[in-house]
Every structure is written in structure tokens, then in C-alpha cells.
Amino acid sequence: MTGRDDYFCFSSPGTFCGVPAATLDDLGNAAAVIVGAPFDWGTTARPGARFGPKAIREGDYLGQDGTRPHLDSGIDALRELGVIDVGDVEMPPGYIEAGLDRITAVVERIAGAGAVPIVLGGDHTVTFADATGVARARGDGTFALVHFDAHADTGETHYGMLHGHGTPMRRLVESGAVPGHRFVQVGLRGYWPPPQVLEWMREQQMRAFPMRDIVDRGLETVVDEAVALASNGADGVFLSIDIDVVDPSAAPATGTPEPGGLTARELLDTVNRLGRELDIVGADLVEVAPIYDGPGEITARLANRVVLELLDGIAMRRRGSPPGA
């Protein structure tokens, strides 16, 4: 299901920061596993997120040696967690359901082996597959989902179809994989979704913190509440990060950029905090479309660091470091 075959020209030839390459049959004792989902068949506006996994893996200026000691914590999370990279899920171009089924199967195997799957997207459609795979391994409705995004992704349909990057959260609620009362969304802004979709979200008991809340009450306060909600009775948390939660000034290379988002620093600090304070059972980072990045590659480099900050937070939690350390 995964590989680096040259036939899949948008797949990644290397591994994330040079961590060991592995197969699904040889996960060993890895506590976290990187896997790419080069899928953008659900994109509405600007395509190109199929190249996201490759860009995220390469968005780094250091040697591909599989080691990254964190300047602040002193932890080398890549080595401490035994991080490995199983490559990209082989995608049949244009086939949405078949692609999602393949991603689900790979994530289920990783989660079923006791490791944390870290999925590099791909457009946000893949979160339906990612969280479903974890749910098949751990049980429907058992974990919470914390979702950072400019958009709620709770649309009823996608141009008349069930799957697209505007519908994955609704599909997860409807399937029972993640019930509405276990959803927490942070950073919503702009002009979508419409009122009837927001009303559906309220009926499902989904909790959303739009950017207006963050501006008015402060990011730390909002994250305090998000952590409390996600921790309430849930057996772990799946973290889904759409890079467009960040303002386009720091993350222009995405399918649907929305002005007025978080700063790069705010996202990095928050993701590290969530890794420390929550039991992360899976995560994905989506909607990096590197064709729009320009020569500076700032979105890909930010995305690479988001993954490293999350891994650092997870490693700190496993060490027993106190929240906020």
C-alpha cells in the first residue's frame, strides 16, 4: 500500500528528515510513523496538495540524518520516539473512494500496531480516512478530534458528492468514528460555511473557536478550553492541522488561503503544547500545495517544523514532563 515507485511521480523519494525508511510489515517498536497521503482529488480551488508530502519531507535545511535535537527541550524526538517513515500511500489518480480506502487501511495498520500515525497530506479530504483508520484500530467514538483550520469542513456534500475537502468532518460525525461532542475546532474565519451548516454543527454539539474568539480572549485561553474539552472522557486525541489556519503571509501555499489567521509562531507553540498535554493517538497535516510557495518555500518549511514540534511535545509527554514545561 505504500512505496516510492517512480511510477507515482508525485510521491516522495526520501524520508522525513532522514528517519529510517520502513514498511508496514516492519514497524518494529516505533512510537510514531510518518506516512504520506499524496491526494488532492477533493480540492475545490487551487490543486497541488498531492505534492504536499514531498514538500514537507524536504522543507528543511539540515542533513538527512534522522536526528533533530530540539533547541528548547533538548529532546531528539526523532530518535527518542524511534520515528520511521513508511513512504506514501500509492494513489490511483482521480479515484476518491479508492484512494481514501487505501489511506484508511494503512493508518489502521499503523494505529493497530500501537504507533501514532502522522499523516502528511494531501488535501483535507484525507482526514476522513485518517481518523477512520484510527477509529477502526481503537474503536468508534472513543477519541476526540482537535481541528485547526480556517474552515469547518462540515459541508453536507461536495458538488453533489459525499467526499471532498469541505466534507470530511461531517462524514466522520455521520459514520460515528468521531461523534460531534468530541469535536473541537480552532481558527475558523471567513465566509464559509453557510448558516445552515453552522446550525447542523450546533445540533451535533461540535465546539468551534473562531479567530474572533482568539482575538478577543487570547490564544492561550482558547487552547486551555480546547484542551479541557478534548480531554473530557475521551481516550486520546486525533489532531488535524490544515496549514491554512495560519495567515497566508506565513503560509501562502495552500488551496484556499484565508487572510487573518494565526501566526507561524502561534501554531508551532500550540502544537507543541498539545503534544505535551494531550494523549495524541494520530495526527495529520494537510493542504500544503507547494506550487504556490515561490522560491522561499515558507509554507513547506513551516509544515516541516509543525511536525517536529508535535513530535517534541509527544516525546516530552512520554518522559513525564509537566504541562507547560
The amino acid at residue 220 is E
The per-residue pLDDT for 122 is 95
Give the residue-averaged pLDDT of 32-49: 95
Pick from 235, 215, 135, 127: which is nearest to 178 by CA? 135
Give the residue-averaged pLDDT of 243-251: 98
The answer, yes or no, to whether residue 39 has pLDDT greater than 60, is: yes
User: What are the pLDDT digits (tens) for 231-243?
Assistant: 999 999 999 999 9
The answer, yes or no, to whether residue 6 has pLDDT greater than 50, is: no
The per-residue pLDDT for 159 is 74
The per-residue pLDDT for 4 is 47
The answer, yes or no, to whether residue 276 has pLDDT greater than 90, is: yes
Q: Residue 268 falls within a domain, yes or no?
A: yes
Q: Share the mean pLDDT of the chain.
A: 94
Q: Do 234 and 207 touch, CB atoms closer than 8 A?
A: no
Pick from 57, 108, 61: which is nearest to 87 by CA? 57
The answer, yes or no, to whether residue 303 has pLDDT greater than 50, is: yes
CA dist 5 and 12 (Å) reads 9
User: What are the pLDDT digits (tens) for 86-107?
Assistant: 999 999 888 999 999 999 999 9
The answer, yes or no, to whether residue 284 has pLDDT greater than 70, is: yes
Q: Residue 259 falls within a domain, yes or no?
A: yes
Q: Do 281 and 237 touch, CB atoms closer than 8 A?
A: yes
Give the DSSP letter of residue 51: G
Give the residue-averaged pLDDT of 170-181: 97
- Tally of domains within the chain: 1
How far, in Å, are 27, 67, 73, 101, 316 from residue 276 at the CA level?
Answer: 24, 20, 11, 31, 6
CA dist 78 and 62 (Å) reads 14
Q: Residue 325 falls within a domain, yes or no?
A: no
Give the residue-averaged pLDDT of 235-254: 98
CA dist 138 and 95 (Å) reads 27
Q: What is the CATH number of the domain that holds 120?
A: 3.40.800.10
Q: Residue 218 falls within a domain, yes or no?
A: yes
Q: Residue 324 falls within a domain, yes or no?
A: no
The per-residue pLDDT for 1 is 53
What's the gap between Cα 55 and its chain centre?
15
Q: Residue 292 falls within a domain, yes or no?
A: yes
Range(s) of the domain holding residue 110 = 2-319
User: Sorting pLDDT into bands at 50, 70 and 90, what band is 7?
Assistant: very low
Strands 84-89 and 2-3: antiparallel
CA dist 292 and 165 (Å) reads 18
User: What are the pLDDT digits (tens) for 313-325?
Assistant: 999 999 986 555 5
How far, in Å, are 46, 55, 245, 252, 262 from residue 291 at the CA level?
Answer: 10, 10, 19, 10, 22
User: What are the pLDDT digits (tens) for 127-166?
Assistant: 999 999 999 999 999 999 999 999 999 988 777 777 878 8
The answer, yes or no, to whether residue 52 has pLDDT greater than 90, is: yes
Q: Residue 45 falls within a domain, yes or no?
A: yes
The answer, yes or no, to whether residue 10 has pLDDT greater than 90, is: no
End-to-end CA distance of the chain: 39
If you count them, how many residues does the chain have?
325
User: What are the pLDDT digits (tens) for 60-77?
Assistant: 999 899 999 999 999 999
User: Which cell is 186 given?
Assistant: 480552532
User: Sorting pLDDT into bands at 50, 70 and 90, what band is 14?
Assistant: confident
Give the DSSP letter of residue 243: G
Q: Residue 306 falls within a domain, yes or no?
A: yes
